[in-house]
Structure 1
Amino acid sequence: MTYAGPASTSAGVVFDEPAKTFDIIVVGAGPAGSAAALEAARAGRSVALIERGPFPGAKNVYGGVVYGRILDELVPDWWEHMPVQRWVTRRSTMVMTPTQALTVDFRTQDWGRAPYNGATAYRADLDSWLAEQAVAAGAVLIPSTVVTNLLQDRTGTIVGVRTDRPDGDLTASVVIACDGVNSFLAKEAGLYQTEHQAEHLTLGVKQTLALPRHVIEERFAITGRDGVDIEMLGCTRGIPGGGFLYTNLDSVSIGVVLALTGVSKAKTRPEELVAELKRHPAIAPLIRGGEQIEYSAHLIPEGGYDAMPELIGDGMLVAGDAAAMCLAAGIWLEGVNFAIGAGMYAGRAAAAAVASGDVSRRGLAGYRTMLEKSFVLADHRKLRKFPGLVLSDRTQQQYPALVCDLVQGMFQVDNPAPKPGLRKLLRRSMKENGVRWRELLRDGWTGMRGLR
């Protein structure tokens, strides 16, 4: 490749009339990046999919469930091919105190047959499989490569990337940034108006514990490929966040998700909270005898709609975690499906812009339109107030204790004293846990507005 005199600028690396090598470069071969590369390659565009790890998924850890229905548009009959551990047929939400636990447990066999609802999966397997679909469609996978800068022309339009490879620079009409949380490419392009504030990030910490398959099925009351996903509130010692436990074929994953600022203020090590969760009387019997085979931690962008950067620049789009598209709204804890959806629309919009010859913000504006019409931004906008509600002190500490005390009072038999009425029990629980009526009503109203 021959370039006319590179020059360093504060905005990146500027090139005069760089030779185009690819139509589209996608940075990051996670779910968003591979979906973008797959969609763009299918549209007939030349695509480079750059991954810093030795293979897609090599640097990813995961503590949740994959909701795959967005793949209906990308991979027909995906459930027959996608590498999954178990299909989630039982979904539980648990509120806890150190000695109590109340669980709302839902189970359905509708989720145990095609097209399924959610699945547990290892990210190394999932990411590799999705990247294979992109390669099969014609994308070029470039692993073990770190993107160090954006390339810009004299007008400021993004025209490619600089890498740590010996041959250095790759050029394209459009760059799609899928480079994960705290995207340095989006920052370099000026798409984050302010620094990604720590209050918009959480820290996920996970242990994977090996258990025999038959033991898992006995303890969680499941058979075959059925699986369980348990989400918990009130198990993080007052630090905003929550816990999770889910089943794989022959292991279970357990961990916590913690507000980054809360961890710093509490000066508590996350592994201490995981250890406490494992000792909880509602959890310990489920994981007894499990041998740790993995420990991992990663940042999660949970700020929601209001924490997203600009999604479009001249010659550039942003998708997935790089665009803060993880939905953390109480009973909805989703990320991979939003990443795949955003990536698919980014690839589709980029391919159309290249075909039209206009890769400016205006030419790429179809990306935002597609996101607005889909669940990706519609759900984020509808639930934009939920992150603040879920991470508030009342939701994290007072409400779990209030609910557990209320239910314990309902079921406790104190003969010869007569049973107290529900109103009396509620007033007593609210007083003991410092909850005021106006707070309860205001939070209830905020929650109901998000559910409309």
Structure 2
Amino acid sequence: MIGDRFDAIVVGAGMAGNAAALSMAKRGMKVLQLERGEYSGSKNTQNAILNPEVLEGLIPDFRADAPLERRLVEQRFWMLDERSHVGLRYRFHHCNGKRPDRYLILRTRFDRWFSAKVREAGATVLCQTSVTELAQNRTGRVIGVRTDRQRDIIQADVVVIAEGVNKSLATRAGFCACPKPHEVALVVKQVHSLPRRIIEARLNLKRDEGVMIETTGTISRGMSGMGFIYVNKDCISLGIACLVSDLQRAGERPYGILERFKRHSSVLRLIEGSEPNDYSAHLIPEGGYNGKPRLFGEGWVLVGDAVQLNNVVRHEDSSLAIASGRIAAEAIFRVKSSGDPITPDCLSVYETMLNQFVAHSKKPFPALLHTRPENFRLTHAQLIAKAMENFARLEGTSDAKQDGPTSASFLSSCGWSWSVRDAFRRRLLR
């Protein structure tokens, strides 16, 4: 590797890194991809929802051999109190065709498959290799990287930084700041193995049908956070996600919250008799695209989670990461094809193209996790569950006697102004 020079070096082999490396390699560029894990996906056990439209642009026939867990046919939403839940579900009417528009995937399996496609396209992929430094010349231009394998610089015309939300390399180089606690959420999850037939019976699923369950309520102890359950082929993944700033403020242990979530009666019945496997934790961006850092500079571009591309409502973080890697690769190829030097002015086309993509797609809604969490996740969850209990338990009392205590509880807990405001919002959403 010493003495070799590459058109581009990609640091990281997640969704964004693989998309960037594959896109450039398919265009004939000489690409080196470096991944610190044993293989792509070895350090990523999270689930994701995949939007096929984004991947089809890179691998049109991906459905032929990609490790897709299930096609997502239904999303369920639960509001939990300590013992019960109130839920609703939405079943997609367009999920039964030959080309479903959303899939559930396990990243540890999918990323490894994705990386194989990068190799097939002609890129050089080195795993178990950590990039220790972005190498810069005297003017501050990035000219390559140094790794834990060799002290000499591996040179490239441009370095694509796809190292995740921490963006430690870019931070050490002074290109951007560390993410603040309120800009990232900590996700803690566990995988529970079960026979496929039991999973499908408990969730009322057929063949390759999949479901995702999102939960809110008392499980997060009033913090900005949610629980989730992904149904895979032969396992169920469940976990919680909370803003790091709230975890710090509350002094809560993430694994303690996860254990309480697992013991909730509504969750326990789904994983009863299962074999618990991997525990894992990772950070995800929650700052929103408007809070994105600097995206490019002298000889480098930033892609993936580091760009704060995360739609917390539609769960499109993986698809958005793929899009950012692909767009960065297209921008780099456009500059190199023109014969122009890779200067910041030329690389600015990347930000222009990415902004156009974000404007065209559904925009993220980061404020959802920051608005009055103490009411939405504690008071309202408890009172809605109580209202449903009163509704179902008609022990010979009149409607007024049933409804009166619940209405009074809402007013005493939330106040007149907040209750009226919530009621008005619900009216507008009808």
Q: Give runs of aligned pairs for residues 50-449 of structure 1, distance below 5 A.
A: 50-108=34-92, 110-166=94-150, 168-192=152-176, 194-234=177-217, 235-328=219-312, 331-356=313-338, 357-375=340-358, 379-380=362-363, 383-389=365-371, 392-419=373-400, 427-438=407-418, 441=421
Residues 189 and 243 (structure 1 numbering): CA distance in 2 closer, same or farther, change over 3 Å? same
CA contact (8 A) 1:327 1:334 kept: yes
Post-superposition offset of 1:43: 2.0
Post-superposition offset of 1:440: 6.2
CA–CA distance in structure 1, aligned partners of residues 125 and 195 of structure 2: 36
CA–CA distance in structure 2, aligned partners of residues 278 and 108 of structure 1: 27
Judge which range, 265-274 or 428-437, deviates more: 428-437
Post-superposition offset of 1:190: 3.0
CA contact (8 A) 1:401 1:433 kept: no
Judge which range, 217-226 or 236-245, deviates more: 236-245
TM-score (structure 1 length as normaliser): 0.86
| Residue in structure 1 matching 2:25, options 24, 38, 41 | 41
Post-superposition offset of 1:173: 1.1
CA contact (8 A) 1:202 1:257 kept: yes
CA–CA distance in structure 1, aligned partners of residues 153 and 27 of structure 2: 24
Q: Deviations over 1:328-383 (max 9, x none)?
A: 2xx43331111101111011111112223231111011111111111488544x53
CA–CA distance in structure 1, aligned partners of residues 184 and 135 of structure 2: 28
CA–CA distance in structure 2, aligned partners of residues 213 and 170 of structure 1: 47
Superposition CA RMSD, Å: 2.7
Residues 290 and 124 (structure 1 numbering): CA distance in 2 closer, same or farther, change over 3 Å? same
Q: Quick one: which amino acid aligns to residue 293 of structure 2?
A: P
Residues 345 and 437 (structure 1 numbering): CA distance in 2 closer, same or farther, change over 3 Å? same
CA–CA distance in structure 1, aligned partners of residues 166 and 242 of structure 2: 17
CA contact (8 A) 1:63 1:255 kept: no
CA–CA distance in structure 1, aligned partners of residues 399 and 425 of structure 2: 34
Post-superposition offset of 1:146: 0.6
CA–CA distance in structure 2, aligned partners of residues 123 and 333 of structure 1: 14
Q: Quick one: which amino acid aligns to residue 328 of structure 2?
A: A
CA–CA distance in structure 2, aligned partners of residues 81 and 25 of structure 1: 27
**Structure 1 stretches lacking a partner, 5+ long:** 3-18
**Structure 2 stretches lacking a partner, 5+ long:** none
Q: Quick one: which amino acid aligns to residue 365 of structure 2?
A: L
Post-superposition offset of 1:265: 2.9
CA–CA distance in structure 1, aligned partners of residues 121 and 167 of structure 2: 27
CA contact (8 A) 2:47 2:105 kept: no
